[in-house]
């Protein structure tokens, strides 16, 4: 058997799960577009928004644990993100 560091197994599984979630979203994109009454290209923006959120969340988690108020900064970051989505939701409609 291969000599694998057991600490890398959860990291590998999490990376696989994050990557798989994007492919699943691409597979069900026509259904999501139909249920939200938008075109498929417009619904494709959801994948981009998810990817941007994953990048921003990863940076926030990586650097947030260095500070004393990491949960507070994560909550504020999520709140600002939700406010921006609410304010700009009309832009994503057809």
pLDDT at 44 (0 to 100): 85
The answer to whether residue 2 is domain-embedded is no
The answer to whether residue 20 is domain-embedded is yes
The answer to whether residue 31 is domain-embedded is yes
Give phi and psi for 78, each to the nearest 5: -65, -40
Nearest to 42 by CA among 29, 55, 54: 29
87 or 66, greater pLDDT? 87
pLDDT at 2 (0 to 100): 67
User: Domain range spanning residue 43?
Assistant: 8-92
pTM of the shown model: 0.48
Residue whose structure tokens are 């259904």: 31
The answer to whether residue 1 is domain-embedded is no
What's the rounded Cα separation, in Å, for the pair 51 and 73? Answer: 20
> How many domains does the chain fold into?
1
8-state DSSP, 90 = G
Q: Does pLDDT of 89 surpass 70?
A: yes
Quick: pLDDT tens for 23-78: 888 888 899 889 888 898 888 888 788 778 877 777 766 666 555 655 666 677 77
Cα torsion 30, 43, 77, 56: sign? positive
């Amino acid at each position: 058997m291969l000599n694998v560091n057991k600490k890398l197994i959860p990291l590998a599984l999490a990376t696989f799960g994050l990557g798989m979630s994007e492919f699943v979203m691409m597979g069900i994109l026509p259904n999501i577009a139909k249920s939200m009454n938008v075109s498929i290209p417009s619904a494709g923006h959801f994948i981009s928004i998810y990817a941007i959120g994953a990048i921003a969340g990863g940076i926030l988690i990586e650097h947030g644990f260095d500070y004393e108020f990491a949960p507070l900064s994560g909550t504020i970051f999520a709140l600002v993100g939700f406010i921006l989505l609410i304010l700009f939701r009309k832009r994503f409609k057809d």
